[in-house]
Amino acid sequence: MTQDDQWMQDKELENIPSFKLEFLQQMLFESKKHSGKELFPFFMSLAAKSRSQNIHFTQEELDTIVPVLKKYASEEEIKKMNQAITMFKRRST
């Protein structure tokens, strides 16, 4: 286990299916390659990919996962997460 995937072993995530955690791990790995204006198109392509793979997260799962991710993330990664969350909230309203 590397430090990058250590979050997946957090006890708070024990009820989240492993395929969802693996999808998120891939998303986190890929997101490190993008910044600023590149993030929105990247996250839109991820949304399409999750639909095509029939991967959906309930609000309860997200409410569990996001704090755990932030616990293991750097300040820059937290900033990206907050930007992504803000973008998705704006799109869904």
* pTM attached to this predicted model: 0.75
In angstroms, the CA 71 to CA 54 distance is 27
CA-CA distance, 62 to 16, in Å (whole number)? 10
Render pLDDT for 39-93 as a digit per residue (tens, 0 to 9): 778 777 877 888 898 888 888 998 999 999 999 888 888 887 887 777 766 665 5
Residues 53/23, Cβ–Cβ less than 8 Å: yes
